[in-house]
């Protein structure tokens, strides 16, 4: 099996009934020499149902050939190292236009939203929908502003609306706590509504957990603070967040993380990527038994055997960003979840 390293994705823009996809740099340590040709596997999914999309048409810049997703919602292509733009079309869905830099073998996940009953016949109107990159989760309460001072907050469906616009373009800035702010010039369609979707990347700068620096000798020895200081974890979950989200079980606290789903085999919970790759879970540096093997064989302590109140901190790493000591050479690199108990962290009761 080829080693799978992530893409270094770039900002992209889409006009009309399309999407603005903002991806993020997931690259780990660079090898001594980049490969000349890499294999990219595109995964196209419905943003609302997470179902795979059959028959999505993918076009790449500089390539005459077009690729169509199969029954598993995937299409693979071998391309030279470099920068590319891609366009994904499917009937009934907003067209997605994006960009990425191909450096290593890797996966490109594209989420598509159905057009539904959006009325595009109204002129001088701009509809902006804000969602989370990768997961497609709609973001409520994001601040969306136009150059010149007009501003709105997204509703429960991630939408904001601006009317009576003039000119050929509008510059939009989107801010939401925990996400990287984005500013983008959007060309306005003449005589009809312009609809765009902005996918926000989670901010790599995590503020609150940095306040625990040097409080635990055990966590310091395990390199937790060192990794946090350098922004390595894709997401950090504090004890408070874990207790709020782990309803009814600890695995549920990870459902909203980008690219993660929770599957069950009998009583055992498994954290999986959207492509079906099991994400290993570690407690105080030791891997939980039920996440080591395939779903047809589960042994040992399971993530749901652990109470959220017993965990001081959780680190989540995507594929290609996992610290070396938590990577198993004999298995696929599907990411990792690192749980650190209050007992070992020296927090005691309370």
CATH number at residue 246: 2.170.130.10
Q: Is residue 350 part of a domain?
A: no
Q: 100: closest CA among 31, 219, 10, 233? A: 10
Q: Is residue 312 part of a domain?
A: yes
**Total number of domains constituting the chain:** 2
Domain check: are 217 and 316 in the same one? Answer: yes
Domain check: are 89 and 196 in the same one? Answer: yes
| Final residue of a structural domain among 184, 200, 216 | 200
The predicted structure's pLDDT at residue 337: 92
86 beta partners: 60, 98
**Containing domain of residue 224, as a range?**
208-345
Q: Is residue 2 part of a domain?
A: no
Question: Strand 194-200 and strand 126-132: pairing?
Answer: parallel
Q: Say which CATH number the domain at 48 has.
A: 2.60.40.1120
Structure tokens at 88: 């994904």
Residue pointed to by tokens 């009814």: 248
22 beta partners: 11
Domain check: are 31 and 149 in the same one? Answer: yes
The predicted structure's pLDDT at residue 21: 42
Low-confidence ranges of the chain (pLDDT < 70): 1-35, 85, 95, 97-100, 104, 133-135, 201-215, 229-230, 290-300, 328-332, 347-350
What is the helix, strand, coil percentage profile of the chain, to 5?
15, 40, 50
The predicted structure's pLDDT at residue 11: 32
Domain check: are 148 and 281 in the same one? Answer: no
Domain check: are 244 and 286 in the same one? Answer: yes
Domain check: are 97 and 224 in the same one? Answer: no
The predicted structure's pLDDT at residue 193: 84
Domain check: are 152 and 252 in the same one? Answer: no
First CA to last CA distance, the chain: 47
The pTM of the whole model exceeds 0.75: no
- As a whole number of angstroms, the distance between CA 120 and CA 214 comes to 55
Domain check: are 152 and 272 in the same one? Answer: no
Domain check: are 193 and 333 in the same one? Answer: no
Domain check: are 212 and 336 in the same one? Answer: yes
Domain check: are 195 and 320 in the same one? Answer: no
List alpha helices for 175-230, DSSP H.
Answer: 217-221, 224-229
Residues 285-314, buried b or exposed e (16+ Cβ, 10 A)?
Answer: eebbebbbeeeeebeeebbbebebeebbbb
- As a whole number of angstroms, the distance between CA 254 and CA 202 comes to 15
The predicted structure's pLDDT at residue 297: 44
Q: Tens of pLDDT along 221-273?
A: 888 887 776 677 878 888 888 888 888 889 999 988 878 888 887 778 888 88
């Amino acid at each position: 099996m080829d080693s799978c390293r992530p893409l270094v994705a770039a900002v992209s823009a889409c006009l009309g009934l399309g999407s603005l996809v903002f991806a993020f740099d997931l690259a780990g340590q660079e090898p001594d020499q980049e490969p000349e040709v890499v294999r990219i596997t595109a995964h196209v999914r419905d943003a609302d149902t997470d179902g795979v999309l059959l028959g999505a048409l993918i076009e790449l810049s500089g390539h005459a050939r077009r690729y169509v997703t199969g029954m598993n919602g995937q299409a693979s292509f071998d391309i030279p190292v470099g920068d590319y733009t891609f366009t994904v079309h499917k009937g009934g869905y907003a067209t997605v236009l994006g960009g990425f830099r191909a450096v290593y073998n890797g996966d490109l996940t594209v989420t598509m939203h159905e057009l539904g009953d959006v009325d595009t016949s109204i002129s001088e109107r701009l509809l902006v929908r804000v969602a989370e990159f990768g997961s497609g989760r709609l973001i409520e309460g994001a601040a969306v502003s136009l150059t010149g001072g007009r501003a709105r907050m997204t509703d429960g469906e991630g939408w904001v609306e601006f009317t009576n616009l003039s000119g050929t373009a509008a510059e939009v800035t989107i801010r939401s706590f925990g996400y990287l702010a984005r500013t983008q010039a959007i060309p306005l369609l003449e005589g009809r509504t312009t609809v765009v979707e902005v996918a926000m990347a989670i901010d790599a700068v995590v503020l609150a957990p940095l306040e625990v620096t040097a409080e635990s000798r055990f966590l310091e020895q395990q390199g937790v603070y060192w990794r946090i200081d350098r922004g390595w974890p894709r997401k950090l979950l504090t004890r408070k967040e874990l207790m709020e989200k782990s309803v009814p079980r600890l695995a549920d606290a990870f459902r909203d993380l980008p690219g993660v789903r929770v599957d069950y085999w009998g009583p055992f919970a498994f954290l999986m990527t959207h492509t079906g790759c099991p994400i290993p879970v570690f407690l105080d540096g030791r891997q939980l038994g039920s996440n080591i093997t395939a779903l047809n064989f589960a042994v040992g302590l399971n993530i749901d055997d652990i109470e959220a109140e017993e965990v001081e901190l959780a680190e989540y790493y995507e594929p290609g960003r996992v610290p070396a000591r938590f990577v198993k050479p004999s298995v696929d690199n599907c990411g990792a979840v690192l749980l650190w108990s209050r007992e070992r962290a020296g927090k005691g009761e309370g």
